[in-house]
Each structure stands twice: as structure tokens, then as C-alpha cells.
Amino acid sequence: MLLGGPGSVVLHEPSGLLDAPEVRTSDRTLLQRHGASAGTDYLGARIVHLAFTVLDDPGTVADILRTFQPGSGDRVLRFAVPGVAGGLGRLTGRVRKRAVPTDALFTAGAVRFDIEVYAADPLLYADQQSTARVLPASPRGSVRLFPFRFPFGVMKSGAAFVTQPADITVDGNAATWPTYSITGPVVNPTVLNRLTGERITVQLTVPTAEVLTIETRTRSVLLNGASRYGALSPDSVWFPLRPGTARLEFDDLLGDKNRGADVRWRSAWI
């Protein structure tokens, strides 16, 4: 649908798409004093209204009714607005209300629709998914210490120097929750954010060619689709990717330099 454009489906006004969603807060009124104590703000759901007219045969009207059917579950709504969500964005929502007035225009073949889309996640995401490879820090210039040979020493070019994995860039103005995929064999894999010290460790042996998926948005840990949430280490933190630069590093007990994790995310905007 195009805003005011040619075609059989003419979009008149999409409202709520660029509006700020409602805010939930824990403000408290100050007792026997003026004002209130400001609490933490959290974004509520986003509600988008689509008003458009269908100028076509009854078959197109039937298709539109079938597409915008309340109770049909979550669907992806893609949109293109210059300067918003990288120019091509998306949100996930479900049709909660639908109004189709049968007035004089209806008899002339112009059917008006008013659709309400409820998006539980209020953020707008880039339609293009970003991917990167999370690699381990590999030492260079190290010396072998085991087995010991007396007398022994450590060269100046010992294990103090490491090759750091490349940084990744996250667009948008809001934090986004990534998905990590780790293919075995690995033992106790860890994904670490070097800039913040946050880490996720799964105390689990992943056999060869099997896939461990860490979904930070839903806070789930799956091995070939089966939940392994109980394998999370006590010091694990569910951390998002924040706008700007992220320095992620992978590690596990096997120490194979060819191992790593694939990370997927969509940049997010408010």
C-alpha cells in the first residue's frame, strides 16, 4: 500500500507508526510534599491504525478481509519511510480491530477499511537482519610451559599479547536482543562482551555438528530444539546489543581456534 499513491488500494493515514508508545512508570506521590518521586520508565505496546480504501472488484476486498483478520496471530508489517529504521523497517503485531463501513461509497465500489494493529514489542526494527561471527581471542608469540624443563623461563613475547576479534557495529537508537548459534563440538561455550564484562555461559557439551541456540529475547537455550535452560551458569547475564560498537568474544574448554558463534540481530529504533 502506498500513501496516496496510485493503485487499487490507497493508504490514507497510518497513525501510531512513528509515534512514541505509551510509557509505564513506577512514579510515586510524595507524602505531605509537592510533586512525585520519579520511577523507572518502560515502554508499553505500540498501536498502529491503518486507514485505506480498496478500489477494485469484490475479489480484492475478500483478499483484504482475509489478510487483516482479527485473531489470526502475529504477522510482520513491513514499511518504508525515509529516515526511519534505515529506510526499510518492520514490526510484529496482530490485528485487534477492523472496521469496514458499508456506506454510499461501498455501493460505488470503494470500500473503506480501518485496521488496528497491536504490537506487543513497541520497537521498530530494520528489515535487513545483520549477522557476524564471534571469534575467540587467539594468543600469539606465546611459549610452551608444559611439560616443565628445568631451568625454565618465559620470553618477553609471552602470552601477554592476544589478537582481539573484530568489533561489530549496531545501528539504531535502542538496544536489541541477539540470537547466538553455536555448532559443536564445544564444551561449556561462553559469549563475552569485552566492553561491559557481561557473559553468557552454557555448562554443556555440544557434540559434533549439533547446534546450540541462545535466544536472548525469549531467554531460551535450545540444543537441537530441546530446552537446556538449566545448563546456564550462575554468573550468566542476559545482555542486549546496544547501539554503537560491541566487542564480543567466544570461548570454550576445548580451545579450538576454529570454533566460534554466529550472532544474528536486527537494529532497533524507538
Which tens digit of pLDDT belongs to each residue from 59-68?
888 888 999 9
Q: Per-residue pLDDT averaged across 111-137, rounded? A: 93
Q: Per-residue pLDDT averaged across 258-265, rounded? A: 91
- Burial class, 82, CB count within 10 angstroms (exposed 0-12 / middle 13-18 / buried 19+): exposed
Residue 126's closest CA among 247, 243, 257?
243
Residue 40 has pLDDT above 60, yes or no: yes
Enter the pTM of the model.
Answer: 0.83
- In order of start, what are the domains of the chain with their CATH numbers? 2-126 (2.40.30.200), 130-269 (2.60.120.860)
- Within 8 A by CB and 6+ apart from 225, the residues are none
